[in-house]
Structure 1
Amino acid sequence: KIKQIVSDGNIEISKAAGIKNGQRILFLNIFSEGKTDVKIEYELPEKPLFNKDEHDFLIICPDEWITDLQPLAEQKEQYGIKTVIVGLNEIYEGKYFAVNGRDDAEKIKYFIKDAIEEWGIKYVMLVGGRKSLKDEWLMPVRYVWLNDRSSSWEYERCFLSDLYFADIYDADGKFSSWDTNNNGYYGEYDHELNGKKVADEVDLYPDVYVGRLAARNKMELKKVIENIIEYERNPSSKFNNVVLCGGDLYLHDPWDVAEGEYLLDKIAEEMKGYNIIKLYASSGLNARKINEAINGGAGFVIFEGAGNHHLWATHAKDDEKWIFYYERNILQLKNDYLPIVLTSGARLGTFNRSRECFNWFFVARGKAIASIGPTGLCWIGHGKNVTEMFLGNLHVRLCKRMASRCLLGDAWGEAIIEYLSNFSWRGVAKAFHMKAAEELEIFGDPTLKIGGYERLAAKTNNVLHVGGDGPNNYTKIQDAIDDANDGDTIIVHTGTYNEDLFIDKSLKIIGEGAEIKTNGIVISASDVFIEGFIVEGYKKGTGLLCYGDNISIRNNEIRHFNTSIFVEGSSCHVEENEIKNNECGIWLNGSYGAEIKNNFVTDNWYGVWGEYASSPVIQNNNFSYNAWYAVWMEGKDGQIGGNDFYRNWYCIYLYNSRYFIINNNSIYGNIHGPQFVNSSYNIIEDNTITKNEHYGIYFGWRSIENVIRKNNFIENAQNARDDAGNKWQDNYWSDYIGLKIKLLYLLHIPYYIPKFSFDWHPAIQPQ
């Protein structure tokens, strides 16, 4: 709960509740036109608000379809996603929870709220679309009344938004009805009613990840379910292909940019390691070329252009001849591998019309495994701003997330939250920002594993060579990876290889005098071992993106990236590397059990950065001359031990962290010794902390129940400060008065630690 926010400048504040990395979070966004100091007072709940984990995935459907969805639920259980199917009548009749809500849509939303709190639900799939030519539904929908007042030729008073079913809580943790003025219109913004403009309060941050199968009958549903099961069970190398289709967005505008192509180029940059196939209007785009590319196999097909319910269109720069892609072109597809389709274009995701919905048509006819498109008019920026705002910017963020092969709903939810958190909500643009999030509709399973789950293939243990002589020799590393099988070894011989790599197999890749100049190396497979390379970037991007589990990065020199190593998988090992001259050395992003050992981490802005890291081990590394943080950590159950910290700005900074053991470190000559903010129940022992220019160690606000014992604090500017009253014992203090007057030591005079603490048993000599 935010109690008070005080600033010495002009700031804008927005609060929202949402889900990030599976955790329920209160987001506080502060915007300032200039540099300003902000003080925030808040209090944490005494106990977790959400701690149930009975189910992960809730499927809601008409009662008569429950049996048809059972095979999908069984598959999800096999992959560790605890799934429950609930019929609409079971909701309306109160089988599981008390019934609340003014209409069927609100009853479903209240049910989702109860399912979060009682079952631990994180994913929701709504099953059912339009029932008839009338506005009748197999699965209820919600219309949003947002007035963007943006067009003289078409004015859209309302549009469909399933984000309504995802945004369960407001910033105060209360049910978010999207009708706070109780007038029966939902999600209002500048809605003109009886001569007045009215608005509802919504925060738009998803609290669950929501998708919809807009099926209109059992036959349609069964086909889609069969495709999802097949897709997840049988991954294909065709997934690595990305088809980009686009041209210009605005005829005869003053900007010398074909916005669709410019946007797709930016998306391509975010999908490093994939095989990018560009089909642009400037290079003769047509429907035949699109179908040929999709028939060849693709993991993603992205359309950036215009549209109208049932067709997509674009044109070359300032060329009035339009290029169309119709539903009949979708029917002509003969692809045996199903992509994820992403579209921009007015109302391509609208599924409340008598005509077919372009996005759902891809899925329903078995030509795509999932599809994402706008249910509204789809506003995109002009010129180069197309990548900086509105749906274009949201697409860039979404594609970056999907490229990591996470679950589809995770990509959707995280992209929306990241987008909404990066813009000031003022002026005419506010409506466009809101609409970009509200109209982004997933037609598919939110728990879909992008790219499918890895099969347990037989390991061949062959050896392939790159840059050497003899059989099985290649000139490019990626060619060897493509031809290798799980369990193979690739030896890369002396030379410089200018390649972006995508590793989707369990391989051992060993460098022998080899240097890789790259924009990035994406590792999606598990059990990958990389050793012996110089990996150099272009002072941007990420060197190695580790999405798989049990990846080992060993004995490499990695330099000149924004982030040298990004770890999202579990049980990954980073050992004996030299990591230098990057903005961030190693980034742990929600990872479990990462081990960072015996590395030399120097001259970075950040050495190790951890967010929501669980059980990390950072051991026996040398951190020196890192300009800001040597180790910044938000996590739990970790160890930071046996490291040398020298001449960093901050050596160890724990934020919102619990149950760490920090031991046997040498911390010498840094600007700041270890600091703890909102971090409790940690043990700090057997460290030597010497000649740091500010505090030797500092415990800030809400850092309680930490134990600090048997450390040596020697000649720091101030050896310690404790604002929270932690437990100190048996530490050596170079400025302890008992060292000069032994009688005071014999009388057990404690060592005083400003602001609230004492070491009641200080040591008389270093330990």
Structure 2
Amino acid sequence: MMEYERYAQRKKMIPKKRNDMMNRKIIVFGIILLFTGIMLTPCIATDNARLKEILSPECPLIFVEEPGTLSGYVTDTEMNPIEGACIQVDFHETYREDYSDATGYYHVTDIPLCYCMKNATGSKPGYIPVSVSLAITENTIHDFILASTGPWLYVGGNGLENYTRIQDAIDNASNGDTVFVYDDSSPYVENIFVDVSITLLGEEKNTTIVNGSTNGTGEDPIEYFGIWIAADSVTVSGFTIEGCNLSGILISSNHTSISDIILSHNHNYGIAIGAMNTNQSFEQSGYNTITKCLITQNMGGVWISGHHNTITGNVISSNEIGIIVIFSLNSNISHNRISQDGTGVYLSGSYHTVLSRNNISSNDKGIYSMWTSADRILQNNFIGNNESASTFPGFFRQYFFKLDGQIPYPIRRNIWNENYWDKPRSHPYKSPGLLWFFIDWHPAQAPYSI
């Protein structure tokens, strides 16, 4: 009788063990589905409102439920308010504008929300106009700093009072002055430090050359850069910058505009924005713009940290890494041609980077993304890369950094949408990978004209 009871007891226990094992499997499977759902949810929404999408001939996606606004303050380089400055936002062959009041405040309204970058210009007679490309949201804030038009100082050329060194002219310049550099004395073998809000113009970008390969001791940090910009509201245009010991241009300030520059054969980066120490990147170097530059044959093309920096309309080619966005907030990267780099774009620790309408082609790897949050990769061309894009979310490390106070931003999913992936696709595009991957739910059927 006792043997029968023990046998019956064992028979009762078997279903219980099987149920326990099944419950464990369900729990594990549920956890996997949870993380997969976080990664793959095909939702496109803003932080503050769910927006309705409609088709438009000007822009494929326009959000019309709530229009966007742009507001902020207009000041001079001494931070005094400027009254009567015009702020104009151009888009879709039209514009919206507003004028600053006695406190310098302006508020431009009724701006359509879409994937297009908007060009915003602050201007007033007697001041140098400032333009910036912005991704407008419901409540975008941007401050304009306008430098007054001052005297011109000349470097090179035949003038009796012209300077022979660029640094000497800058040392004698004041806020709002323009330093014009002739190409007949090129190359200028200098390491230039800009600590005043000026416009620095080269006569012609192909022939006005700054060579930063000076034979310094390395004890002075300036010796590592072709041009180090430490003052706010500086404009630089019309140079070739090459051979620098570290980077061609370092921007450690705000509201700087770099355009029409060739940066090549620099030992580290063509242009570096913000702190090279990533522990202090977020609050440094904001609202800088890099446009219409050729950045080629450097170790890295562009390093971006800080906040609200814009890289648009550049050719970035034949670097080990084209663009590095690291511990950066609200970067805008658009309408660039990024090709023949080891990695086209490397994103790490960034928040709300908007990467749109770029031609990313013939790189070993188009985009590599890790530890990023709320980034938007929209309407880019991925053509002829050995690997178009890959991602490593690193949720646990992000949460650790968040709890430890090392990152100030919320942790949200990234959005990949309407990109062109080598060929027309009738189904959503999934990136390579079994566990860490993304899905573009609406891949483009033809490459964009960029």
TM-score range, shorter chain: 0.5 to 0.7
Displacement, 1:727? 6.4
Aligned counterpart for 1:652 among listed residues 362, 367, 372: 367
Deviation at 1:588, TM superposition (A): 1.4
Partner Cα distance (1:464, 1:522) in 2: 19
More helix by share: 1
RMSD: 3.0
Structure 2 distance, partners of 1:766, 1:485, is 51
Partner-residue secondary structure (3-state), 1:684:
strand
Partner of 1:723: 435
Is 1:533 the counterpart of 2:218? The answer is: no
Q: Is the 8 A contact 1:689 1:714 kept in 2?
A: no
> Relative to structure 1, is the Cα distance of residues 522 and 719 closer, same or farther in structure 2, using a 3 angstrom cutoff?
closer
2:264 is aligned with 1:570: no
User: What SS is found at the alignment partner of 2:387?
Assistant: coil
Q: Which residue does 1:624 correspond to in 2?
A: 339
Task: State the secondary structure of the residue aligned to 2:169.
Answer: helix
Which residue of the other structure, out of 544, 554, 561, is the alignment partner of 2:259? 554
After TM superposition, what 4+ stretches of structure 1 lie above 4 angstroms from structure 2?
456-460, 712-722, 724-728
Rounded to whole Å, the distance in 2 between the matches of 1:651 and 1:677 is 14
Q: 1:629 Cα shift?
A: 4.2
Deviation at 1:719, TM superposition (A): 6.2
Deviation at 1:630, TM superposition (A): 3.5
SS at match of 2:349: strand
Q: Which has the larger radius of gyration?
A: 1
The count of aligned residue pairs is: 260
Aligned partner of 1:500 among 182, 187, 191: 191
Asked if 2 retains the 8 angstrom alpha-carbon contact of 1:645 and 1:667, the reply is yes
CA distance in 1, matches of 2:202, 2:446: 45
CA 558–681 in structure 1, closer or farther in 2 if over 3 Å, else same? same
Distance, in Å, in 2 between the alignment partners of 1:457 and 1:624 is 35
Cα 1:460–1:726 shift into 2, 3 Å: closer
The letter of the residue matching 1:640 is L
Residue 685 (structure 1) aligned with residue 409 (structure 2): no
Q: Specify the code of the residue in structure 2 equivalent to 1:682.
A: N
Work out which of the residue numbers 158, 169, 179 in structure 2 matches 1:490. Answer: 179
Contact 2:431 2:438 survives alignment (8 Å): no
What is aligned with 1:582? 298
Q: Return the offset for 1:632.
A: 3.4
Q: Are 2:169 and 1:465 equivalent residues in the alignment?
A: no
Give TM-score, length-normalised by structure 1: 0.32
The TM-score, its normalising length taken from structure 2, stands at: 0.53
Tell me which residue corresponds to 2:202.
511
1:40-88: CA deviation from partner (whole Å, max 9, x where unpaired) = xxx9xxxxxxxxxxxxxxxxxxxxxxxxxxxxxxxxxxxxxxxxxxxxx
Structure 1 counterpart SS, 2:171: helix
Q: Map of 1:341-420 to 2, 5 A cutoff?
A: none
Cα deviation for residue 555 of structure 1 reads 0.7
- Indicate whether 1:601 and 2:306 are aligned: no
2:353 maps to 1:638:
yes
The alpha-carbon distance between structure 1 residues 530 and 457, as it changes in their structure 2 partners (threshold 3 A), is closer
More strand by share: 2
Provide the C-alpha distance between the structure 1 equivalents of 2:417 and 2:147, rounded to a whole number of angstroms. Answer: 47
Shift of 1:471: 5.8
User: How much does 1:628 deviate?
Assistant: 3.4
Give the letter aligned to residue 479 of structure 1.
Answer: D
C-alpha contact (below 8 Å) 2:344/2:360 kept by paired residues: no
- Partners of 1:580 and 1:556 lie apart in 2 by 11
Amino acid at match of 1:509: L
Shift of 1:766: 5.8
Compute the displacement of 1:639 (Å): 0.5
Structure 2 contact 343–367 (Cα < 8 Å) conserved: no
Pair 650,470 (structure 1): closer, same or farther in 2 beyond 3 Å: same
Note if contact 1:509-1:531 (Cα within 8 Å) is conserved in structure 2. yes
Mapped to 2, the partners of 1:524 and 1:725 lie a distance apart of 40
1:506–1:642 CA distance, 2 compared to 1 (3 A): same
Q: 1-side partners of 2:146 and 2:393: how far apart?
A: 46
Mapped partners of 1:719, 1:683: distance in 2: 13
Shift of 1:671: 1.2
Q: Could you give the per-residue CA deviations for residues 4-52 of structure 1, whole angstroms, max 9, x where no partner exists?
A: xxxxxxxxxxxxxxxxxxxxxxxxxxxxxxxxxxxxxxx9xxxxxxxxx
- Counterpart secondary structure, 1:673: strand
SS at match of 2:238: strand
Change (3 A) 1:462 1:471: farther
Q: Distance in 2 between matches of 1:482 and 1:603?
A: 35
Greater relative contact order, per chain length (Cα 8 Å cut-off, separation 6+): 2
Residue in structure 1 matched with residue 250 of structure 2 by the alignment: 545
**Identical positions, percent:** 26
Query: Would the aligned equivalents of 2:428 and 2:441 in 1 still touch at CA under 8 Å?
Result: no
- Any stretches of 5+ residues in structure 2 without a counterpart? 1-34, 36-77, 79-144, 214-224, 275-284, 395-411
User: 1:469: Cα distance to partner?
Assistant: 3.1
Correspondence for 2:32: none
Unpaired segments of 5 or more residues in structure 1? 1-42, 44-232, 234-455, 692-711, 733-764
Contact kept, 8 Å, 1:564 with 1:586, in 2: the verdict is yes
**Equivalent residues of 1:666, 1:688 under 8 A apart:** yes
Once the two structures are superposed, residues 139-174 of structure 1 have per-residue CA deviations (whole angstroms, 9 ceiling, x without a partner) of xxxxxxxxxxxxxxxxxxxxxxxxxxxxxxxxxxxx
Which amino acid is the alignment partner of residue 688 of structure 1?
Answer: Y
- The equivalent position to 1:479 in structure 2, one of 168, 172, 183, is 168
Measure how far apart 1:646 and its partner are. Answer: 1.1
